[in-house]
Chains A and B, each alone.
Chain A
Amino acid sequence: AQSVTQLGSHVSVSEGALVLLRCNYSSSVPPYLFWYVQYPNQGLQLLLKYTTGATLVKGINGFEAEFKKSETSFHLTKPSAHMSDAAEYFCAVSRSSSNTGKLIFGQGTTLQVKP
């Protein structure tokens, strides 16, 4: 069975500071990994994804994440936080061998950006 654990339900950073949102996964098969973002009063949207190839993936709005198989992690980072980054972030995993797009989501991390 697959699962996702997001460490920290709430993260607060100052504007301009590094953003680090942690995600660890469990999967018996090679995983596909995703980060989704949910801005206030909006639906979830894909931020970035790892399927195959380069383990460092870049997404929208300056975010990136690195797949580390040895650590079963897929942490999300951004060098400099902006006020507009305040949102809820979800890490998700799917089975690379699956023929559906069913995703298993983590519990989410709310990012607060202080001026």
Chain B
Amino acid sequence: GAGVSQSPSNKVTEKGKDVELRCDPISGHTALYWYRQRLGQGLEFLIYFQGNSAPDKSGLPSDRFSAERTGESVSTLTIQRTQQEDSAVYLCASSLLAVNTGELFFGEGSRLTVL
């Protein structure tokens, strides 16, 4: 597709289960970002990938969170042993280059609900 694609769009899970969220960036975009948006709050940076460089994981809230990216394509965000506070919309964004001009292209997000 032409835009950033995320799946699933909605996920309901039980506390303690693991979940995987997928992001397909725009073709050719070398940089990929994951953000989290809790209800009533702004976007919280989680992790950033740029090409073959080591990812910037500085925003991951705990070791239950991890993410992988295959080359310059698909990324998967994994949350292990989910907790209720993990409930949020997880947003993926990509950009053509790792430049700081901020033109990120966002997907519609994956809404995670942990019961």
Contacts and interface: CB of A to CB of B under 8 A. Distances in A.
A88 B4 CA distance: 19
A13 B33 CA distance: 34
Contacts of A95: 100
Nearest to B107: A43
Contacts of A70: none
A101 B33 contact: yes
Nearest to B103: A46
Interface string B31-63: 101010000111111001010000010000000
A42 interface: yes
Interface of B: 3-4, 31, 33, 35, 40-45, 48, 50, 56, 91, 93, 95, 97-109
Given A43-B109, A108-B41, 16 more contacts: A6-B42, A43-B91, A43-B106, A43-B108, A44-B43, A44-B93, A45-B106, A49-B103, A90-B43, A101-B31, A101-B48, A101-B101, A103-B102, A105-B42, A105-B44, A108-B42
